[in-house]
Structure 1
Amino acid sequence: MSVDEVQKNIKNNFSIPPHKTSNIKKVIGVVSGKGGVGKSLITSYLAVLMNRKGYKTAVLDADITGPSIPKVFGVHEKAMANSDGIIPKLSKNRTKIMSLNLLLDSEDTPVIWRGPVIASTVKQFWSDVLWEDVDYMFVDMPPGTGDVPLTVFQSLPVDGVIIVTSPQELVSMIVSKAVNMANTMNVPILGIVENYSYITCGNCHEKISVFGESHTDEIAEKFGLKVLGKIPIDPSIASACDKEAIEELQGDWLELAEEVLCNLQ
């Protein structure tokens, strides 16, 4: 038996079915090798963009100890449950959301849990939530290559991952780890999104690389990946997040990512 066959068997043995009422067509993981690169922003905005195209979208917030998805969408009411399972909350434009913050008594309550409990919670968000019909589910994962990404890759039928990074010197090593983990788990990589890529001068409209020369294109070429978008440092983005109005944000930065998602078989 080949290494690929062994890995496939391991994944099949750990995979769990969604809730019996759920019909989820595509599952997209959004990952990063390190924190602070704006992964939750990218996750949220991808869901918004696909929702605008008429698809039914959902976000599973797997960043259990640092959940931020509900706040970006302006969703604060606690999720409820019935005898069948947990009912996800709906954003203003009807994107379904499930996050631990929607189950806590207070959003400020710290989550001081060990890895196995966190991993179990992520599985429950998949199997015990009444997602019903979803065209694209985006899974916002914590940074790194620890318990949660491993749990998601093993337990959920992930159709592809998008790697979020920033234009800094360490990007090569950081992205390499994320790429290698996805490859080890036989999860397709859809491409890379670079956040905090540049600022645009208000006078001459020149793009200025605040963090120095970007190496994202080089890394993408090294691994044979697409760069799906470069997100600028833009006041409108920060304002949309601060105002909890990600669904009002307008920008064409992720057009290629939209195209790749729409063409996903």
Structure 2
Amino acid sequence: MFFRSKKLSNDDKRLADIAAAVAIFFELKDASGIVVLLLNDAHYTVKLPFVCASLHDDLKAHLAEQAGFADLQFTIEHNVPIYASKVEHLSNVKNIIAISSGKGGVGKSATAVNLALGLKAQGARVGILDADIYGPSVPLMLGTAGESPQSPDNKHMFPINALGLASNSIGYLVKNDHASIWRGPMASKALSQLAKETRWPLLDYLIVDMPPGTGDIQLTMAQQLPLTASVIVTTPQDIALSDAEKGIAMYNKLELPVLGMVENMSYFECPECHHQTPIFSSHGAHRLSEKYALPMLAEVPLNTVIREYADSGKSLIDEQPEHAISKIYKQAALRLSMQISTQLSVSETAQALANKIEVTRLD
């Protein structure tokens, strides 16, 4: 949703100049989607269509260095738009991002959880849906294994909140020592109900941890739920890349944008000498990203800290925000949010509603 200032005066040029300076800071082609509002004679609010809390101070410093802006004050905010999808949006959910992989064992679930936590750290309101019907692992990673969602009306479920995320998973409904022995249509129906019958709070992004492969569940998600875009997770070796390429091909056929790639297990860094060893080959995801013109959102090394925090149900990003791995995920979240804002179209319905809202000067 984009808002425009109601004030029309000579200040309009300054508003445009500030927006242009912000676009330069983020290396954007233009300032579309960046809104600058005048609060008083020297205080401006910059509203961004993506989340970037980690860069707010740097952005303010950049603006302070610009000619004519040195004596101004700036507040940085975000207003994530609702982007277009083929299906009617879920209540309270602006955008749904599918985290996918062609095969299992490439770290897709860990990526989904840490991308969600990274988006939260950047200032977004985030939920996570565990769509891996046969191997749900999100409850363990969030420290919520054994919990069950409440359903006062026996029709809708309330998500379980953990680590600042709203979550739901088939793992909350099926005990750990039980297997989900369901055929494809059954699993697809269960997933659709899980997504649609959850009373999500207002979310900028709902991250969906998809099951591996290109089968019934993936098709159901793409055709019945308002997916905004997808992210492909892989490892560098050829066997994983081959399956990842099939996932990209599937989303291209379904006309669902793929916003980028995350390469897990890129290398192992010795904790003593810091020598990097590419155990599972190297630059594999780079070759695939170049072939399909997809950006690399992150290259995540093999590091025991990822496994330790996942197994304990804690957030590395919250507890150790300056850790190298935390910075990788927060940077990936920033890149993902910016990719969405620069590559996708805003929902026409949402845009029409936003244009009816006027934001006036606040004295």
TM over 0.5: yes
Q: Which residue does the alignment assign to 2:3?
A: none
Query: Partners of 1:156 and 1:90 in 2: how far apart?
Result: 22
Identity %: 34
Structure 2: distance between partners of 1:94 and 1:133: 13
Give CA deviations for 1:69-123 in whole Å, capped at 9, x if unaligned: 01100013111102251111010x330111011112x222111111111100111
What CA distance in whole angstroms lies between the structure 2 residues aligned with 1:125 and 1:112? 17
State the alpha-carbon separation in 2 of the partners of residues 239 and 256 from structure 1: 21
* Aligned: 1:259 with 2:334: yes
Q: Which position in structure 1 is the counterpart of 2:39?
A: none
Q: Match for residue 183 of structure 2?
A: 114
The counterpart of 1:176, out of the listed 245, 252, 255, is 245
Deviation at 1:48, TM superposition (A): 0.6
- After TM superposition, give the deviation of residue 151 of structure 1 in Å: 0.8
Q: Which amino acid aligns with 1:131?
A: W
Indicate conservation of the 8 Å contact 2:267/2:282, yes or no. no
* Secondary structure at 1:132 match in 2: coil
Task: Verify the 8 A CA contact 1:31 1:141 in the aligned structure 2.
Answer: yes
Shift of 1:156: 1.5
Write the letter of the residue equivalent to 2:135.
Answer: G
Tell me the CA shift for residue 225 of structure 1: 0.7
Equivalent runs, 1:54-133 vs 2, <5 Å: 54-76=123-145, 77-83=147-153, 85-91=156-162, 93-104=163-174, 106-133=175-202
SS in structure 1 at match of 2:227: coil
- Cα pair distance change 1:255/1:78, threshold 3 Å: closer
Is the aligned partner of 1:141 residue 2:210?
A: yes
Query: What's the counterpart of residue 225 of structure 1?
Result: 294
Unaligned runs of 5+ in 1: 1-10
Q: CA RMSD in A?
A: 1.7
Residue 266 of structure 2 aligns to a residue whose secondary structure is: coil
Q: How big is the shift at 1:246?
A: 3.2
Distance in 2 (CA, whole Å) between partners of 1:135 and 1:56 is 5
Q: Which has the larger displacement, 135-144 or 165-174?
A: 165-174
* Partner residue in 2 for 1:194: 263
CA distance in 2, matches of 1:171, 1:116: 26
Q: Which amino acid aligns with 1:116?
A: P
CA distance, structure 2, for counterparts of residue 24 and residue 159 of structure 1: 11
Shift of 1:221: 0.3
Post-superposition, which runs of at least 4 consecutive aligned residues in structure 1 deviate over 4 A?
A: none
Distance 1:151 1:222 in 2: 27
Q: How does 1:146-161 map to 2 (within 5 A)?
A: 146-161=215-230
**Distance in 1, Cα, partners of 2:137 & 2:306:** 15
Q: Determine the C-alpha separation between the residues in 2 that align with 1:40 and 1:90.
A: 18
Q: 1:188 to 1:223 in 2, by over 3 A?
A: same
TM-score when scaled to structure 1?
0.88
CA separation of 1:137 and 1:212: change in aligned 2, threshold 3 A: same
Aligned counterpart, 1:216: 285
Please name the residue that 1:4 is paired with. none
Q: Which has the larger radius of gyration?
A: 2
CA deviations on 1:147-200 (whole Å, 9 max, x unpaired) are: 111111111111111100001122442121011001001111111100111111
Q: Is the 8 A contact 1:80 1:87 kept in 2?
A: yes
Is the 2:235–2:284 contact (alpha carbons within 8 Å) kept by the matching residues of 1?
no
Q: CA deviation at 1:231?
A: 0.8
Q: CA deviation at 1:125?
A: 1.5
